[in-house]
């Protein structure tokens, strides 16, 4: 069956640093970057576990695959969010769900400011040629885009609820000890 008949959107997952928004194609690369550049420890997903099937999305796993939208993904779990305003959502997710620990005595070797860009700066940031080409590969209509946004909002709420349940279950288990 084609992707359109299944009603799924093909997503390309990019892994940004939740602190400085530098983009990586592999989750382990951003985990290494966050540790070395910013001094925080992010836990990696368990090796050998594939991304679970999703009712809304299909995932472009290879660089040469055609995709419809790009999302920013969490390197520690399967959470992902649309690139639009995604760094803020990703940061909130990582801080609330994964609570990264600061490396004691960490000193940034580059001594650079590692803050998120303002939205005005973000708009002026240069666009990579590969992003423009990929965005042009498949053009979805306004109606499909609106439906996609609604589905993403619903999925995000479900993911948030799931995270809350995990937090509550984790707290209940720690109180039982």
d(CA 79, CA 147): 20
d(CA 58, CA 52): 10
Give percent above pLDDT 70 in the chain. Answer: 67
Identify the domain containing residue 35 by its residue range: 3-139
Grade residue 151 by pLDDT with cuts at 50, 70 and 90: confident
> What pLDDT does residue 115 have?
42
- Average pLDDT over the chain reads 75
User: For the segment 1-23, what is each residue's pLDDT rounded down to a tens digit?
Assistant: 444 446 888 999 999 999 998 99
User: For the segment 167-177, what is each residue's pLDDT rounded down to a tens digit?
Assistant: 777 666 666 65
- The answer to whether the beta carbons of residues 9 and 60 sit under 8 Å apart is no
Q: Is residue 65 part of a domain?
A: yes
> What pLDDT does residue 140 have?
58
**Number of domains composing the chain:** 1
> What pLDDT does residue 137 have?
40
Q: Is residue 155 part of a domain?
A: no
> What pLDDT does residue 49 have?
78
Strands of 49-132, DSSP E: 57-59, 69-73, 80-82, 101-102
Grade residue 166 by pLDDT with cuts at 50, 70 and 90: confident
């Amino acid at each position: 069956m084609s992707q359109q008949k299944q009603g799924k959107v093909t997503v390309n997952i990019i892994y940004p640093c939740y602190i400085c928004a530098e983009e990586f194609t592999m989750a382990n690369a951003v985990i290494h970057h966050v540790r070395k550049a910013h001094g925080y420890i992010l836990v990696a997903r368990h090796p050998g576990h594939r991304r679970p099937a999703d009712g809304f999305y299909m995932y472009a796993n290879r660089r040469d695959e055609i995709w419809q939208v790009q999302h920013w993904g969490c390197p520690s779990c399967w959470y992902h969010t649309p690139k639009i305003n995604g760094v803020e959502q990703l940061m909130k997710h990582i801080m609330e769900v994964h609570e990264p620990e600061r490396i004691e005595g960490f000193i940034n070797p580059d001594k650079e400011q590692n803050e998120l860009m303002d939205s005005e700066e973000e708009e002026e940031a240069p666009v990579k040629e590969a992003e423009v080409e990929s965005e042009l590969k498949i053009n979805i209509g306004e109606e499909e885009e609106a439906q996609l946004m609604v589905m993403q909002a619903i999925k995000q709420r479900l993911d948030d609820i799931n995270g809350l349940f995990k937090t509550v279950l984790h707290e209940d288990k720690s109180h039982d000890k």
